[in-house]
Structure 1
Amino acid sequence: MYPSIGYIELDTWRWLEVGQRPNVLRPDQSTRHRLGYLIRELREARGLSMRDFAAKTFVSHSKVQRWENGARPPRDRSEAELIDKVLGAGGFLIELWQEIGREISDPNHVSDSAFHVSDASLALPTAVSQAAPSGGAGIFIPARLDDGTVVLVALDRRAVLRAGMGIGAATAAGLTMPAAVAINASEDPFGFARSVTKNWSGLRLSRPNPDYGVDWQALLPGGRSMLGSQLSLQVHPARIDEGRVVVSVPDQRRVEEFLTRPNRSLLVGAIDTEDASQFYVLDGRKARGRLMKNGGVYEVTAPSAYKLDDLTYGILWAVANYDDALQADDQDLAETRSDLKAYERLSASAVSREAAPGLNAVAHMWLGSDFCARHILRALPELPEVPSFWTREQRGEEASAWLIFDHKYPYLRETTRALGGTSTRAFCIPEGVVRSSPRHERILLFLSMALMEAMGIHTQLTTDPSYEAVEGFVVAPDKEAVIANWVRGEGMWHVDVTARSSIVRDCTNSAKDVNAHSVTAAPTAAGRLRALAHYLDLPWAWLVQRCAHLARAGSSGLIQSRSRLVSAAGIDTACKYVGSLPADH
């Protein structure tokens, strides 16, 4: 006669008396060893190999071994909760893990966890939630017999699933089973959410329910003009193999469904280390072509240069924000650009944003930047001598347009060719702006100036706030000035070509003052960039190493643009140049 759960008879009911094995779950044995043994028993009872279990808990095979032999217990509660959930232990493993913490804080503490079980009942909804994702035949719950023996109760999965939801508590033969710990939407099995939201406070993560194959929805923050962007993420365990990241994908159908959707997605590989997990990201479109079967397990490879840190996060943040906003207004933007070409016949114009109604702020930025670039290129051949440039960008958000907008890299190349040699470009970046900028934005600012140095343009920097209001210009000292400003202006752009003495004098004096007192002054590009990194509080050797690493891999696999107005040429050129510089001081 079979015991019943609610009104449904079980197909199978069996006991695994692990407490009868020698030196197992005994009070005179350390709790970490009892925990390890129970993890192994539950894993084997569920038919999971060590590799399968490692994949489900997002850790390495060696870490599972350390858990099971008692060498190292789970590092934190979230890890213990994940193990408990995967093994369907109903909170019992968490209790043992807590007992280990009490033993560490009080070496004289005597454990009684081996014979303690929660008095709460196991509700059928909990049993179904445990059984539904399982590929095995049963769910297994630790419980205690009247004589203190710890057993694993095996419930048939098919019967539990047929029972449906909400039938009531499960009891059998007078034994009360422990309830499983509820897994809520904030569960973080990789430590991924904790890590990224700690490092980048503006980033927001959420778990969709139902998830439809998405582990996390990431909302990237906007900025002063950026609007924010959304990414879908799948996170999987990974390992380093011959310098590349190999992401293990247990469920091929789920990942294929995820990667074939048209929305922007990232595949994240999590590599467990002794201290903290490391994460590597790969654009979903790139990952789609790299999905391969290896010995029954599907895998995706990614360059180790795609490690998620301030460099790669900054690139993801800027490209996703600009790319999505420009793609959203693509048709209207193309039509508006064509309509505004009439202003090219004028030597001076100041166009408000009302001239492009309905376009978002990033589209206005692109229009202004594009018009100013073409205005300068038209005026350069008429200047009587080699000019000095002044640019108004102060933060990574503004400056990253040099790296990302499709017309910026060709513009720098053409100005260098037109001048036939080196030129100077000045920036005003006060200390207060640096202090208020997050690290990833400062890296983008650094890369933008490095791109200019790579093109033979000597960058200069003043920290004097009195220059913040100066518009962007190109000046042939004391002779003629070209005004071209789209950054932090009242409208989309303001351009002019003038020989008016007061304007030319102000531009000339500004350029000469910064040239004489630049805080990054040095005879070489490496010296100027090293001084810039110091001013921006960025580690020089790390920048050189990471840029070299990323340059070899290329940034397109990190995040691929969808808009035709976005290009990776500037990012890759800047990284390649910085990576070629000496890292020593």
Structure 2
Amino acid sequence: MLHPTAPVAGVDGAWYLDGLDLLDSTSVAAQMYVATAHLNDDVVAIGSHDYPHVRQFVRPTRRALLLASVEERQDGSEGSLYVLDAAHARRLLALDRPVERLPIPTAYQLDDLTFAVVRSLITADNALGADDRLLDSEEQGMEQHLQKERSVVARESVPGLSQVGAAWLGSRFCSRHALQWLTKSAAPSALWGRAQIGEEAVPLLLFRQQHWFIDQFLQLAAGGEDQPGMALCVPEDVVAASPIYDRIMLFLALAWLEMRGLVTWICSEPEYAKLDEFVLVPGQQAVVGTWMRARDTIWSADVAVRKAQVLDYDLAVRHARANSVLEGSSSTDRLRSAVDYLGLGPVWKTLPGRCRELGAYGTVDMLQARSRLIGLEELDKALRFVGSLAT
């Protein structure tokens, strides 16, 4: 929900962003200004007559967003909104850098793609920023848990932690636990994740520690015979119930995994949705670490080495690989299958081009991540990778 106000000094609008499941709802100050299109320069611009108010709006150190509104043009094209973080506007309007206009790239047009990015970053960033001191304290106490093969921490043991904060803490522990307890005698070949909707894939795209974990996993998997992969269970009814912007976020996560060299498999049978998250060394070991959709716990970790246990996890991966709805021998083919399965056909004609534009300018110049735990660089790489699929 967006409740803008007229540009009146001291009066700001608010943009309310609701989470579906993982993301905590939040709000951000927002102000709308009339802008003019400068298509030859691929920008829209807020005029200098608004600068006194814009400077006052962006001066506070809080997070805020500028929305530039371009009215319907003479050629009949519809009007649209463009978004820019106040921190970037503050830099552009610095007194020692006088400018005749405040430009916002047309790549930052507010549509399903940019809304997915804005919503994901702001909700996750606000939650992690609020939890920063608590997360730092809890991470310092992880060592005692990492020494145990089995570890479970109840959600109620860290009161006041946001859902995103709990997700970061759980994923951080499970990543470190997996790397500590993986066997040194053979290479892991597969990951099993529990993300079903785009909101649950946000950690893959935004959490720096998830980027680090995938780097470490790929290094270990490099000695194996098979190309490593990641399996997810995404039932058809879950896809049908997800808004299109959320499905776009899930697609970007799949693209990022493929870009990093992981084959993606998606099975659709609901019975696999409750399976624990794990890292598999075929025939030898499965290191379990569940943090996604773990309502009563922040994490639940274990090491399975008995053959009967390992076989269950092995069979799940074999099933996902053999029955994946993502068909094809190449990343391009699998991602095109993902477009069909996720119902992105209606937007696919324009989505690669929009990803290419947004990736070229960079989300890091549209939004500013405040939390040290979040990075936008990998998201930009995923956008550029999707953009290359249409070439």
TM-score with structure 1 setting the length: 0.62
Q: Secondary structure at the match of 1:432?
A: helix
Per the alignment, residue 248 of structure 1 pairs with 47
Residues 1:558 and 2:363 are matched in the alignment: no
1:237 to 31, 34, 45: 34
- 2: CA distance between counterparts of 1:512 and 1:360? 35
Counting only pairs closer than 5 Å after superposition, residues 22-61 of structure 1 correspond to structure 2 as none
Task: Map Cα deviations across residues 431-467 of structure 1 (whole Å, 9 max, x no partner).
Answer: 1101111111111111111111011000011111111
Per the alignment, residue 219 of structure 1 pairs with 16
Q: Secondary structure at the match of 1:382?
A: coil
Residues 310 and 568 (structure 1), Cα distance of their counterparts in 2 relative to 1, 3 Å cut:
same
Counting only pairs closer than 5 Å after superposition, residues 12-31 of structure 1 correspond to structure 2 as none
Per the alignment, residue 520 of structure 1 pairs with 326
Per the alignment, residue 452 of structure 1 pairs with 257
Counting only pairs closer than 5 Å after superposition, residues 286-301 of structure 1 correspond to structure 2 as 286-291=88-93, 298-301=100-103
Assess if the C-alpha contact under 8 Å between 1:213 and 1:254 holds in 2. Answer: no
- 1: CA distance between counterparts of 2:286 and 2:121? 33
- 1: CA distance between counterparts of 2:341 and 2:251? 10
Per the alignment, residue 107 of structure 2 pairs with 305
Letter in 2 for 1:371: F
Q: What is the Cα deviation at residue 210 of structure 1?
A: 7.5
- 2: CA distance between counterparts of 1:462 and 1:249? 54
Assess if the C-alpha contact under 8 Å between 1:368 and 1:492 holds in 2. Answer: yes
Residues 1:353 and 2:155 are matched in the alignment: yes
Residues 411 and 268 (structure 1), Cα distance of their counterparts in 2 relative to 1, 3 Å cut:
same
Per the alignment, residue 306 of structure 2 pairs with 500
Counting only pairs closer than 5 Å after superposition, residues 137-156 of structure 1 correspond to structure 2 as none
Using CA pairs below 8 Å that are at least 6 residues apart, which structure has the higher relative contact order? Answer: 2
Letter in 1 for 2:122: A
Assess if the C-alpha contact under 8 Å between 1:326 and 1:363 holds in 2. Answer: yes
Per the alignment, residue 260 of structure 1 pairs with 59
Residues 285 and 297 (structure 1), Cα distance of their counterparts in 2 relative to 1, 3 Å cut:
closer
Residues 1:282 and 2:84 are matched in the alignment: yes
Per the alignment, residue 135 of structure 1 pairs with none
Q: Secondary structure at the match of 1:279?
A: strand
Bigger mean CA offset, 249-258 vs 463-472: 249-258
- 2: CA distance between counterparts of 1:277 and 1:236? 13
Q: Secondary structure at the match of 1:316?
A: helix
Residues 1:426 and 2:231 are matched in the alignment: yes
Task: Map Cα deviations across residues 454-512 of structure 1 (whole Å, 9 max, x no partner).
Answer: 11000011111111111111222232111111011130111111212332121111110
Q: What is the Cα deviation at residue 401 of structure 1?
A: 0.9
Assess if the C-alpha contact under 8 Å between 1:429 and 1:461 holds in 2. Answer: yes
Counting only pairs closer than 5 Å after superposition, residues 111-260 of structure 1 correspond to structure 2 as 203-205=1-3, 207=5, 212-214=10-12, 216-238=13-35, 239-241=37-39, 242-260=41-59
- 1: CA distance between counterparts of 2:182 and 2:373? 24
- Structure with larger Rg: 1
Q: Secondary structure at the match of 1:227?
A: coil
Question: Structure 2: 5+ residue runs without aligned partners?
Answer: none
Bigger mean CA offset, 238-247 vs 568-577: 238-247
Assess if the C-alpha contact under 8 Å between 1:458 and 1:525 holds in 2. Answer: yes
Q: What is the Cα deviation at residue 582 of structure 1?
A: 3.0
Residues 418 and 531 (structure 1), Cα distance of their counterparts in 2 relative to 1, 3 Å cut:
same
- 2: CA distance between counterparts of 1:392 and 1:478? 22
- Determine what percentage of the aligned residue pairs are the same residue: 32
Task: Map Cα deviations across residues 10-64 of structure 1 (whole Å, 9 max, x no partner).
Answer: xxxxxxxxxxxxxxxxxxxxxxxxxxxxxxxxxxxxxxxxxxxxxxxxxxxxxxx
Bigger mean CA offset, 452-461 vs 413-422: 413-422
1:376 to 158, 163, 178: 178
Per the alignment, residue 14 of structure 1 pairs with none
Assess if the C-alpha contact under 8 Å between 2:9 and 2:56 holds in 1. Answer: no
- 2: CA distance between counterparts of 1:451 and 1:381? 27
Q: What is the Cα deviation at residue 357 of structure 1?
A: 2.3
Q: What is the Cα deviation at residue 419 of structure 1?
A: 1.5
Task: Map Cα deviations across residues 124-181 of structure 1 (whole Å, 9 max, x no partner).
Answer: xxxxxxxxxxxxxxxxxxxxxxxxxxxxxxxxxxxxxxxxxxxxxxxxxxxxxxxxxx
Residues 1:400 and 2:208 are matched in the alignment: no
Residues 383 and 237 (structure 1), Cα distance of their counterparts in 2 relative to 1, 3 Å cut:
farther
Per the alignment, residue 473 of structure 1 pairs with 278
Assess if the C-alpha contact under 8 Å between 2:352 and 2:390 holds in 1. Answer: yes
CA RMSD of aligned residues (A): 2.1
Q: What is the Cα deviation at residue 427 of structure 1?
A: 0.8
Q: What is the Cα deviation at residue 325 of structure 1?
A: 0.7
Per the alignment, residue 293 of structure 2 pairs with 488
Assess if the C-alpha contact under 8 Å between 2:187 and 2:222 holds in 1. Answer: no
- 2: CA distance between counterparts of 1:524 and 1:428? 20
Task: Map Cα deviations across residues 342-384 of structure 1 (whole Å, 9 max, x no partner).
Answer: 1011111111112322222221111001111112222345252
Q: Secondary structure at the match of 1:332?
A: helix
Task: Map Cα deviations across residues 372-399 of structure 1 (whole Å, 9 max, x no partner).
Answer: 1112222345252442211110011111
Per the alignment, residue 338 of structure 2 pairs with 532
2:247 to 431, 442, 455: 442
Letter in 2 for 1:322: A
Assess if the C-alpha contact under 8 Å between 1:235 and 1:268 holds in 2. Answer: yes
Task: Map Cα deviations across residues 270-316 of structure 1 (whole Å, 9 max, x no partner).
Answer: 112235311111110001122389xx985211221111011110111
Per the alignment, residue 578 of structure 1 pairs with 386
TM-score with structure 2 setting the length: 0.91
Residues 211 and 218 (structure 1), Cα distance of their counterparts in 2 relative to 1, 3 Å cut:
farther
Residues 1:568 and 2:370 are matched in the alignment: no
Q: Secondary structure at the match of 1:235?
A: strand
Residues 552 and 532 (structure 1), Cα distance of their counterparts in 2 relative to 1, 3 Å cut:
same
- 2: CA distance between counterparts of 1:533 and 1:209? 41
Letter in 1 for 2:111: D
- 1: CA distance between counterparts of 2:322 and 2:174? 27
What count of residue pairs does the alignment treat as equivalent? 378
Residues 383 and 535 (structure 1), Cα distance of their counterparts in 2 relative to 1, 3 Å cut:
farther
Assess if the C-alpha contact under 8 Å between 2:15 and 2:27 holds in 1. Answer: yes
Q: Secondary structure at the match of 2:10?
A: coil
Task: Map Cα deviations across residues 179-211 of structure 1 (whole Å, 9 max, x no partner).
Answer: xxxxxxxxxxxxxxxxxxxxxxxx242549986
